[in-house]
């Protein structure tokens, strides 16, 4: 952890409030919480489409000696005291909480506005109970009609601890390049609420091949599916002109922008060499066209959840400097499997180490990435 007196801020840290867990318990399809005889210690949280084969196998024969699907639903997911313990263990001064995936994406349109109001109020109350230590990114009822979503934006804008919203990549159902989403993105930008963009859907299971479900655990969907999903979502927004249409929009991209820092050059080159885009006047040099690099440096922040110096250096380069990077942990995901969960988490140490290795242990940049950037960008001083 940072050997500095500056504040350490975790901008990528999730929770499921107890009322949300109750909804997952009442469900029979993913996302679902269920107990399995093969794993008596904790109920299991089954979230990802890639976990469907394991869920099917466990349900087909509850006595079979199969690996149960999902991950153990430990108190880390829903218990505020546990979140504070985790923060204290890792010398994290401030956490910007967010509902974990898949947010309210699966909720029926009629139920979504009420549930959003309840969940966001619960987050604000949690934050109020620990003054100065907790803020949150709100969840929006994206399955509801647009007026209800706009009403939700107005609601969260008024919550004292809300500092933005967390969005998945599906938008209103057709992705973030959907013109129907523009009024909502404009309202968020006008309300000075950055969008924390987080993946959930990954890539189709077929991509992982026939052996993945039984042999490769969650590695492929999490290590590759998530970052590629984020990359595609932002590339689509860029190609659709969303960043130009909403110049005040600010986005914080999870996992250091997926693979964008590495692929932005290729995306830009493919644009410049695309005949259709050139004919339509969308690829030419000059003429005021902002490149994807411009957008990354003007409208995008990246978290520092990339687990390696190499990735983090690329992220800093793509974002145009360390001042646009913000530390995160992804708690409660990626707990240590071979040591006590109440102690230090290796996943956190990897991300903190990457910062120190990339920019130098006692540097101004390290203090910025570890916390001071988030304090500045997300206005984390309480009045």
Total residues in contact with ligand 5CU, by rule CB under 6 A = 9
> Which DSSP string corresponds to 148-207?
HHHHHHHHHHTSTTEEEEEE-S-BTTTBTT-GGGHHHHHHHHHTT--EEE-----S-GGG
Q: Cα 310 to chain center, whole Å?
A: 21
Q: Which is nearer to ligand 5CU, 51 or 124 (CB)?
A: 51
| CA 42/CA 39 separation, integer angstroms | 7
Q: What is the nearest approach in angstroms of ligand 5CU to the Cβ of residue 253?
A: 13
Omega before residue 145 within 30° of 0, cis: no
Residue whose Cβ sits closest to ligand 5CU: 333
Q: Which is nearer to ligand 5CU, 9 or 99 (CB)?
A: 99
Q: What is the nearest approach in angstroms of ligand 5CU to the Cβ of residue 41?
A: 18
What is the footprint of ligand 5CU within residues 35-94 (CB under 6 A)? 47-48, 71
Q: Which is nearer to ligand 5CU, 323 or 335 (CB)?
A: 335
Q: What is the nearest approach in angstroms of ligand 5CU to the Cβ of residue 301?
A: 17
Q: Which is nearer to ligand 5CU, 100 or 181 (CB)?
A: 100
What is the footprint of ligand 5CU within residues 217-246 (CB under 6 A)? 218, 222
| CA 382/CA 361 separation, integer angstroms | 28
Q: Which is nearer to ligand 5CU, 47 or 55 (CB)?
A: 47
The verdict on 330 binding ligand 5CU (CB under 6 A) reads yes
Q: What is the nearest approach in angstroms of ligand 5CU to the Cβ of residue 75?
A: 17
The verdict on 212 binding ligand 5CU (CB under 6 A) reads no
| CA 283/CA 291 separation, integer angstroms | 9
| CA 307/CA 298 separation, integer angstroms | 24
Could you say which of 36, 136, 196, 333 contacts ligand 5CU (CB under 6 A)?
Answer: 333
Buried b vs exposed e over 154-188: b needs ≥16 C-beta within 10 Å?
ebbbebebbbbbbbbbbbbeeebbbeebbebbebb
Q: What is the nearest approach in angstroms of ligand 5CU to the Cβ of residue 246?
A: 25
Closest by CA to 32, choosing from 22, 19, 42, is 22
The verdict on 329 binding ligand 5CU (CB under 6 A) reads no
Compute the half-sphere exposure of residue 12: CA atoms within 13 Å on the CB side of its CA. 31
Could you say which of 101, 120, 205, 259 contacts ligand 5CU (CB under 6 A)?
Answer: 101
Q: Which is nearer to ligand 5CU, 47 or 193 (CB)?
A: 47
CA distances (Å), 303 to each of 11, 256, 261, 296, in order?
7, 5, 12, 13
Q: Which is nearer to ligand 5CU, 155 or 351 (CB)?
A: 351
- Asked whether 256 and 305 are in contact (CB, 8 A), the reply is yes
Q: List interacting residues with ligand 5CU (CB under 6 A).
A: 47-48, 71, 100-101, 218, 222, 330, 333
């Amino acid at each position: 952890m940072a050997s500095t007196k500056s504040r350490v801020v975790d901008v990528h840290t999730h929770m499921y409030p107890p009322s949300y867990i109750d909804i997952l318990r009442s469900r029979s399809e993913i996302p679902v919480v269920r107990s399995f005889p093969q794993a008596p210690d904790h109920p299991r949280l089954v979230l990802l489409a890639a976990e469907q084969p394991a869920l099917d196998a466990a349900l087909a024969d509850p006595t079979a000696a199969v690996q149960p699907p999902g991950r153990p639903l430990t108190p880390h997911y829903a218990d505020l005291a546990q979140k504070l313990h985790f923060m204290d263990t890792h010398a994290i001064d401030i956490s910007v909480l967010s509902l974990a995936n898949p947010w309210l994406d699966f909720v029926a349109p009629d139920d979504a506005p009420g549930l959003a109001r309840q969940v966001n109020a619960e987050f604000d109350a949690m934050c109020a109970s620990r003054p100065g230590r907790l803020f949150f990114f709100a969840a929006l009822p994206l399955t509801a009609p647009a007026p209800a979503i706009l009403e939700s934006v107005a609601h969260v804008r008024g919550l004292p601890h809300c500092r933005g919203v967390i969005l998945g990549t599906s938008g209103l159902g057709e992705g973030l390049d959907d013109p129907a989403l523009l009024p909502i993105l404009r309202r968020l930008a006008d309300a000075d609420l950055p969008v924390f963009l987080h993946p959930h859907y990954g890539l189709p299971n077929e991509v992982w091949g026939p052996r993945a479900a039984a042999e490769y655990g969650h590695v492929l969907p999490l290590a590759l599916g998530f970052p590629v999903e984020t990359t595609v979502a932002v590339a689509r927004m860029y190609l659709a002109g969303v960043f130009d249409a909403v110049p005040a929009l600010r986005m914080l991209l999870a996992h250091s922008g997926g693979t964008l820092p590495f692929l932005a050059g290729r995306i830009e080159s493919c644009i410049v060499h695309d005949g259709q885009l050139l004919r339509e006047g969308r690829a030419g040099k000059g003429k005021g066209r902002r490149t994807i690099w411009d957008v990354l440096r003007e409208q995008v922040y990246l978290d520092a959840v990339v687990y390696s110096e190499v990735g983090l250096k690329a992220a800093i380069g793509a974002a145009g400097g360390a001042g646009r990077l913000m530390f995160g942990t992804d708690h409660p995901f990626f707990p240590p499997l071979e040591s006590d969960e109440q102690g230090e988490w290796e996943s956190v140490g990897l991300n903190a180490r990457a910062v120190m290795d990339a920019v130098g242990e006692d540097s101004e940049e390290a203090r910025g990435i570890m916390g001071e950037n988030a304090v500045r960008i997300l206005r984390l001083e309480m009045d």
